[in-house]
Amino acid sequence: MRFIPIVIALFFLASCSKGITKILKSPDPEYKLRMAEQYFVKKKYAKAQVIYEDVMPYYKTRAEFEDIYYKYAYAAYHQADYMNAENLFKSFLEIFPNSAKSEEVDYMRAYSFFKQSPKPELDQTNTIKAMGMMQTFINTHPGSARNKDASDIIDICRGKLEIKDFKSAQLYYDMGQFRAAGVAFAAVLNSYPESVKADEYKLMIIKSYYRYAELSVEERKPERFEQVIDEVHDFVDRFPESKLRKDAESYMNLSQTQIKTLSNEQVKTPA
């Protein structure tokens, strides 16, 4: 079992009113449990949590222990202590594997990871873990009414990862690292081919490689403008109805003009 560290418990104890101090000093565990239940119902989760922890040793071998631990975990969750809540939900499943609440608690464990998922700009380790745990929940509970919510959360997490990857690719473009930008936007498109922004990513691949070709040394320009033309053809094949098609095709025209100009200059250059 993973209870709140004693230092945190003492902090809560020090901040509680004289009423809760009196409760904790009582030798009657049943009275303490009643008071913990009252605090929990009133959503005074910090006080409920301290009392639940205090009475756990007494109830550890009794039927009430399951419900106490269940509410103890939720008390952490309701205080936005999601890391501790996830540990407690996990411990609940280990201690009470056959509980009627197992499905709910399994979902809440995954949901606690989702609640730790940060903004797209930050490290997405918890987002990836949340996706994996939600998928595991769906696989483990195929008939659960919570599976739609789990799938929706996976989509939300995937959206965060997409935004993060897009911003990373856009940063390369903004910094003038156009070849790296083209590769990065291609990776975004490959990772999220069904995205509503897929044609935008493809256009950014085209723009990136066009700028890369423009800045290349003369002898490499023709082949790199040819690459732009190939990317435009691929755009048209993949997104024939896209509103961005004309923008994409404009880069093909520009590239063809560039190739023609380079070819004429080579002809004019004396041997």
What tens digit of pLDDT does each residue of 76-127 get? Answer: 999 999 999 999 999 999 999 999 999 999 999 999 999 999 999 999 999 9
Banded model confidence at residue 268, pLDDT cuts 50, 70, 90: low
Say how many Å lie between the first and final Cα of the chain, rounded: 84
Q: What is the distance between the alpha carbons of residues 159 and 152, in angstroms, rounded to a whole number?
A: 11
Q: What is the distance between the alpha carbons of residues 201 and 185, in angstroms, rounded to a whole number?
A: 6
Q: Is the pLDDT of residue 217 over 50?
A: yes
**Axis-axis angle for helices 6-15, 18-25 (nearest 10):** 130
CA nearest neighbour of 146 among 157, 158, 133:
133
Banded model confidence at residue 203, pLDDT cuts 50, 70, 90: very high
Fold classified for 176-271: 1.25.40
Chain segment 4-29, per-residue pLDDT in tens: 454 455 455 455 556 788 999 999 99
Q: Do the first three CATH levels of 1-116 and 176-271 match, i.e. the same topology?
A: yes
Banded model confidence at residue 265, pLDDT cuts 50, 70, 90: confident
Residue 20: its pLDDT value, please?
A: 87
Residues ≥6 apart with Cβ < 8 Å to 177: none
- What DSSP string runs through 120-133? TTS--HHHHHHHHH
Residues ≥6 apart with Cβ < 8 Å to 91: 1, 2, 69, 73
State the average pLDDT for the chain.
92
Fold classified for 1-116: 1.25.40
Six token digits for residue 48: 């409920």
Domain ranges for the chain = 1-116, 123-164, 176-271
- In angstroms, the Cα distances linking 37 to 20, 52, 59, 70, 82 are 13, 9, 14, 12, 21
